[in-house]
Structure 1
């Protein structure tokens, strides 16, 4: 992702295909239950219901071609991420985590060095000279660094684990991505709380944050315009905070205009041209043309309406319930991943983005591998 800004779907796709081929050759009879069993759980059913509603949303999309293009990028990457997370743990070669650590170290160092040199390498390569080209790589480092570091720590590669965390943070902090920095802060804080607090308290806190983020998304702009002081906008001028608040208000008005079904799956890129936008006051309509609401929770409401928001909330809460049963270290990293990803989703990017889906899939894969290496007989856990 650092060298090729949207490469993660291809990397995850190729990895998933390789593991699928290997598992098919090894024991094809065991492959079906391994892949199907999770889908029969309450969490699997909720996730499938959300995806089903997303497909149904094609029926009222005013731009079916756009909606199909969005899903044609998202669904294959989601399938590849699922295959990778189910099939790779337990079959990852011993050298791979250390190779991953080397990649993270080089990525963090490259981001920091090239930005410090005013993007000299990008100029030599003849590519786009803009500091935000490292935003997606920084967000990917947010996702994968901690799960990979846990794998390395449990494999007794302690120096590599610490280097992964340090250089991952360096890449994030040196980038200009406010979303990546927010994700790092939220993830680290949540991981620390989850490590020290009782399991139920940590999961309840994460659930409260996710629930409020989703429930309040349609009125986010109205809340911020009343509560956010001018001094905060001045400090966040590089993050275009005023514009983001205005965008949130515009999409919130669109949700109010059509709260039940939304505008249709994947319509954010042309939201200003949807029938829903025509029912929004003219002064609130202009910023509907920005391409997405800069808030995935709000995007779910705007595109999929109340049923989509409910199914998303159900899947998220069932996910947290599963995380509550993990041993302490895994739970801390997993909840840190949830908090970091949620913080990023609250201020950034398109929720259907394939590169983001691939990054989450890679992070979950490393986390599951860490679980396989867990010293369960000796690791202290506190399920209270």
Structure 2
């Protein structure tokens, strides 16, 4: 009886993860609740089945990667000591940590149970894309009828989460012989992204597709090195990104990309870069980007640079880590990235290429888009990693069969 109840809970958890695109399309901040609920269902199922939770959830934290991630989180927490905005820091942390916990539970516990819902998950993603395209084509009449905010950018978060999911999900489907369904899901998301106002989704999909094509034919070390160099380069150069772009980006390109507010983005990057230069070692404190213009370091930079510090975050997660957590935080973040990449060297080619594509997709969006600690993004990453690990296990099984 307990075994049946455990299977039911596991199945429900997988179904909830499969439903994530639809939930986000209807409520664009719902991913932390969806992923957290799925994580609790899976945790209850694992406990009821008597699975070794210590090995599943605690042991990974004792690995080099786990210890590096915990050290990074510890530094985030320690920075609250010198944060000039402790209330804002605590509020940001209180939103981020539950989303991170849910993402971790799903990433660790869901993979063995996702195979049964891969097909339905693809159809749900296709339906969610259809809803987005239909509502945009109607002038957002559906959102208006539902009493929701009538704004095209309201679909940006759902599309970005679906962008994270589509690479591991379609790779899983293709590996199990459902190539047409995988292609249809990818095509529908591409159409929805192109029809939307989310340039970041288009950019992320393009980066992931190009990366997958490049690394698929490369040796493991070369592919990992290529993606690692790009991501570490983005992190290392983040504090000087604004100055580099201001010197090298031609006016004609600004005009061509006028819809992307490139001038404002360069100005924001320069302002936060100046703040990093003024306090490079420990940063202003976790979560302070929301009101960075009120931090003491803001008073130490030129007055003309301060205005753009009030935008809420630097629209570059790498730069945000530098501004809030300093060199120590950036060093720990780079260590987490390096250890993550090192772990992929043992994966099969298909799983490794998909993982690198997902890293490129998430990395390019983090470089140009939202704040680093957004709960909806963290939860979406957890669901994507769950599908990725399901693909990894499936690839190992297929290799063993051969």
TM bin, normalised by shorter chain, reads: over 0.9
Moved more, 159-168 or 287-296: 159-168
1:155 CA displacement = 3.1
1:224 CA displacement = 0.3
> Residue in 1 aligned with 2:4?
none
Partner Cα separation in structure 1 for residue 143 and residue 150 of structure 2: 6
Does 2:49 match 1:26?
Answer: yes
> Residue in 1 aligned with 2:15?
none
**Where does structure 2 lack aligned partners over 5 or more consecutive residues?**
1-23
1:125 CA displacement = 2.0
1:43 pairs with one of 47, 65, 68: 65
1:156 CA displacement = 2.9
1:341 CA displacement = 0.3
Partner Cα separation in structure 2 for residue 196 and residue 155 of structure 1: 21
**Where does structure 1 lack aligned partners over 5 or more consecutive residues?**
380-384
SS at match of 2:346: coil
1:164 CA displacement = 1.6
Partner Cα separation in structure 1 for residue 346 and residue 254 of structure 2: 41
Deviations 1:303-327 (A, max 9, x none): 0000000000010011111112211
> Residue in 2 aligned with 1:148?
169
Partners of 1:109 and 1:170 within 8 A in 2: no
Partner Cα separation in structure 2 for residue 308 and residue 7 of structure 1: 29
Partners of 1:97 and 1:152 within 8 A in 2: yes
Normalised TM-score (structure 2): 0.91
Deviations 1:341-367 (A, max 9, x none): 000000010110000001100000011
Cα RMSD of the aligned pairs, angstroms, is: 1.2
Partners of 2:129 and 2:189 within 8 A in 1: yes
> Residue in 1 aligned with 2:109?
87
Q: Which has the higher helix share?
A: 2
Does 2:295 match 1:274?
Answer: yes
1:158 CA displacement = 2.8
1:93 CA displacement = 6.2
Report how many aligned residue pairs link the two structures.
Answer: 377
User: Superposition pairs for residues 1-384 of structure 1, below 5 Å?
Assistant: 1-28=24-51, 30-92=52-114, 94=116, 96-374=117-395, 375-377=398-400
Partners of 2:114 and 2:387 within 8 A in 1: no
Partner Cα separation in structure 2 for residue 247 and residue 54 of structure 1: 23
SS at match of 2:46: helix
Partners of 1:107 and 1:171 within 8 A in 2: no
**CA separation of 1:187/1:93 partners in 2, compared to 1, >3 Å: closer, same or farther?**
closer
SS at match of 1:216: helix
> Residue in 1 aligned with 2:10?
none
Moved more, 295-304 or 195-204: 195-204
SS at match of 2:113: coil
1:201 CA displacement = 0.9
Partner Cα separation in structure 2 for residue 192 and residue 377 of structure 1: 25
Deviations 1:116-150 (A, max 9, x none): 22212122223212111111111111100111112
Partner Cα separation in structure 2 for residue 337 and residue 92 of structure 1: 18
1:378 CA displacement = 6.5
Partner Cα separation in structure 2 for residue 325 and residue 291 of structure 1: 40
